[in-house]
């Protein structure tokens, strides 16, 4: 049995509860767009009765090119995320990249995310653990599922046992990722809830030369497979106009397609968890 991690009365991870959704645009592009997407996603999840944590990054520090858009920065970005919390009564998640950011971000974020490429950075991982916030670890594209055990121990060393583990694909050759669905039950053996990131799993890192590419058509297929494997949360980056997105547009789900993907996932989730 995977332990239960409670964010609030409506958002509870693990213990074979219905999946929680992390969703929002890859990067904060503007306050107006973030609020528009938060409103649109919440309308869908309220209709389907799916717990929602809004996601967007104030700084995309890991970009292919020095010229790539990174976001508004921590100060402005956190103010926008706080507005999402205040206007829509939604918890929020974003990623941190340095030890110094952890304490600042904890003042606003309900879940702090450790980026995949930084998941083995001991000082960062322990700094986030010490905030006593829920920690979502993106498993690095270079890690085997069992390697995540050591990351878990680093966070546990801080006394924090509010841990989520995210699968987001594994490097397969050049500019490509694949998902080994066996990693989901293997990571669950840690006793912590597991998240599946369906949109970053279809990313093609550096595939466009000076930026990453992606293939969003496969998001519904991977989502159904992962939910069928038994997950505790689903991570989807969503945009109203992916072609206009300043980061990861090629792999983001269109807002207009989100409800259908979630309905299918919800049906599979219910079937799988009835048998557990």
Average pLDDT in the 221-231 region? 97
pLDDT of residue 193: 98
pTM (predicted TM-score): 0.95
Angle between helices 122-129 and 148-156 (to 10 degrees): 50
Does position 180 have pLDDT exceeding 70, yes or no? yes
pLDDT of residue 209: 58
Average pLDDT in the 135-150 region? 97
**Of 39-43, 175-179, 272-276, minimum mean pLDDT range:** 272-276
Q: pLDDT grade, residue 248 (50/70/90)?
A: confident
Strands (E), 45-197: 52-55, 92-95, 111-114, 134-138, 163-167, 170-171, 177-178, 194-197
pLDDT of residue 65: 76
Does position 200 have pLDDT exceeding 60, yes or no? yes
What is the C-alpha separation between 134 and 77, in angstroms, rounded?
19
pLDDT of residue 205: 76
Q: pLDDT grade, residue 60 (50/70/90)?
A: confident
Task: Tell me the CATH class for 5-274.
Answer: alpha beta
Percent above pLDDT 70 for the chain: 95
pLDDT of residue 11: 98
**Of 6-10, 59-63, 106-110, 262-266, minimum mean pLDDT range:** 59-63
Report the run of H or E that residue 221 belongs to, with start and end: helix 219-229
pLDDT digits (tens, 9 = 90+) for 65-111: 787 788 899 999 999 999 999 999 999 999 999 999 999 999 999 99
Q: pLDDT grade, residue 203 (50/70/90)?
A: confident
Q: pLDDT grade, residue 208 (50/70/90)?
A: low
Does position 224 have pLDDT exceeding 60, yes or no? yes
pLDDT of residue 161: 98
Average pLDDT in the 164-175 region? 94
Among 87, 139, 93, 91, which Cα is nearest to 113's?
A: 93
Q: Give the SS3 label for residue 51.
A: coil
Does position 212 have pLDDT exceeding 80, yes or no? no
Longest C-alpha distance within the chain, in Å? 49
β-bridge mates for residue 171, sequence order = 177
- What are 21's two structure tokens? 């959704």
Average pLDDT in the 133-154 region? 97
Q: How does the average pLDDT of the chain come out, rounded?
A: 94
β-bridge mates for residue 5, sequence order = 13
What is the C-alpha separation between 140 and 122, in angstroms, rounded?
14
């Amino acid at each position: 049995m995977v332990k239960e991690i409670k964010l609030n009365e409506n958002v509870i991870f693990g213990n074979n509860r219905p999946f929680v959704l992390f969703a929002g645009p890859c990067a904060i592009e503007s306050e107006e767009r973030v609020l528009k997407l938060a409103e649109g996603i919440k309308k869908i999840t309220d209709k389907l009765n799916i717990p929602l944590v809004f996601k967007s990054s104030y700084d995309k520090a890991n970009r292919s090119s020095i010229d790539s858009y990174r976001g508004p920065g921590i100060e402005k970005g956190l103010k926008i995320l706080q507005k999402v919390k205040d206007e829509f009564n939604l918890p929020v998640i974003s990623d941190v990249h340095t030890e110094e950011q952890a304490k600042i971000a904890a003042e606003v974020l309900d879940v702090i995310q450790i980026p995949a490429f930084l998941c083995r950075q001991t000082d960062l991982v322990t700094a986030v653990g010490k905030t006593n916030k829920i920690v979502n670890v993106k498993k690095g594209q270079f890690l085997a599922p069992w390697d995540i055990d050591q990351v878990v121990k680093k966070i546990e060393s801080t006394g924090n046992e509010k841990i989520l583990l995210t699968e987001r694909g594994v490097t397969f050759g050049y500019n490509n990722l694949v998902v080994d669905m066996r990693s989901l039950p293997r990571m669950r053996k840690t006793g912590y809830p597991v998240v599946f990131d369906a949109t970053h799993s279809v990313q093609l890192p550096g595939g466009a030369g000076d930026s990453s590419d992606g293939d969003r058509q496969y998001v519904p297929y991977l989502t159904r497979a992962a939910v069928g494997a038994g997950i505790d949360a689903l991570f989807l980056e969503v945009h109203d106009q992916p072609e206009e997105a300043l980061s990861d547009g090629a792999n983001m789900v269109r807002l207009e397609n989100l409800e259908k993907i979630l309905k299918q996932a919800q049906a599979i989730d219910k079937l799988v968890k009835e048998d557990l």
